[in-house]
Amino acid sequence: TNPSFLDRLNGGPSAVAAWCGLPDPTIAALLARENFDAVIVDMQHGAVDFSNALRAVPLIAGAGKPAVVRVPVGEFATASRFLDAGASGVIAPMINTIDDARRFASFMKYPPIGERSWGPHGALSLTGMQAAEYFPVANGLSVALAMVETREALNIIDDILAVPGIDGIFIGPADLSIALSQGAKVNPLSAEVEEAIDYALSRVKAAGKVAGIYAPTGARAADMVAKGFHLVSVASDSAYLRHGAQMALAAARA
């Protein structure tokens, strides 16, 4: 049987994930069949609505890959619904206060850690587990990643990491660059963002939790793997499509 996504993140080499923002779930299904370690469906900035994202989950899991969903800002109840559908993890954007982190964790974990409500129909079907089998392991099967992408979050990163039920953090370098420049620019490759990334990574490692980050290109993803991130998402489905089209066209017109 497959190790849980959390065990894979903690014990394996860095997981490199596809990032999907296009609405049709067949795109996530197609990428899940490529050699990615996980597929992330983005409901914050992607064009994916709830029912299409929900449909992507069993298609990704059916390819043997963990399905991870980034929910819109503050939509913690939606996080529970994706766990019910069988998602292996949820990324929650803009976790800027301890209260944000606590509320996110409460929707991700069953008591005694949180207050997730019972109804994991898709999760039971995808794992083949009975309710009595799933319940005691469920909190370990649902990876909660809080996004650190503001100055406030960076300032309280140790407190966010200490919230029971928060399994790790996921860095948003673009928003972080806006925040660290006081709104002057977006530059996820700036020196101040690099410094913040190294600081955040060291705090996550000190807490023994999972560190994830978004990387806009393959080369940048390789740098983040080299730094020791557990989870690195690379570019996005629309970028894969555009680059593939550009390469094919360039070859056709050469």
Number of residues that bind Mg ion (CB under 5 A): 3
- In SS3 terms, 34-96 reads as CCCCEEEEECCCCCCCHHHHHHHHHHHHHCCCCEEEECCCCCHHHHHHHHHHCCCEEEECCCC
Q: Considering only residues 37, 84, 100, 175, which one is a binding residue for Mg ion as defined by CB under 5 A?
A: 175
Number of residues that bind ligand 3PY (CB under 6 A): 8
E-state strands within 78-193: 89-92, 143-148, 168-171
* Binding of ligand 3PY by 149 (CB under 6 A): yes
* Binding of Mg ion by 42 (CB under 5 A): no
Give min distance, CB of 71 to ligand 3PY, in A: 12
141 vs 124: CA distance, rounded Å: 12
Specify the stretch interacting with ligand 3PY by CB under 6 A; choose among 7-15, 53-61, 78-86, 168-176: 168-176
Our CB check for Mg ion shows the closer of 149 and 167 to be 149
Q: Is 121 a catalytic residue?
A: no
Give min distance, CB of 240 to Mg ion, in A: 20
Specify the stretch interacting with ligand 3PY by CB under 6 A; choose among 53-61, 103-111, 132-140, 166-174: 166-174
* Binding of ligand 3PY by 173 (CB under 6 A): yes
Give min distance, CB of 91 to ligand 3PY, in A: 9
Give min distance, CB of 172 to Mg ion, in A: 3
Yes or no: say if 50 and 78 are a contact pair by the CB < 8 Å rule.
yes
Catalytic hit among 45, 121, 230, 243:
45
Name every residue whose Cβ is closer than 8 Å to that of residue 168 and which is 6 or more positions away in sequence: 9, 143, 144, 145, 146, 161, 204, 209, 210, 211, 212, 230, 231
Q: Considering only residues 124, 156, 174, 222, which one is a binding residue for ligand 3PY as defined by CB under 6 A?
A: 174
In Å, how far are 54, 155, 221, 231 from 209, measured between CA atoms?
27, 17, 20, 12
* Binding of ligand 3PY by 175 (CB under 6 A): yes
Our CB check for ligand 3PY shows the closer of 114 and 188 to be 188
Yes or no: say if 92 and 144 are a contact pair by the CB < 8 Å rule.
yes
Task: Report the candidate in 99, 229, 87, 227 with the shortest Cα–Cα distance to residue 171.
Answer: 229
Name every residue whose Cβ is closer than 8 Å to that of residue 202 and which is 6 or more positions away in sequence: none
* Binding of ligand 3PY by 229 (CB under 6 A): no
Of 129-148, binders to ligand 3PY (CB under 6 A) are none
99 vs 134: CA distance, rounded Å: 28
* Binding of ligand 3PY by 75 (CB under 6 A): no
Site string for ligand 3PY, 79-98 (x = CB under 6 A): --------------x-----
154 vs 141: CA distance, rounded Å: 27
Residues classed as catalytic: 45
Q: Footprint of ligand 3PY on this chain (CB under 6 A)? A: 93, 149, 172-175, 188, 214
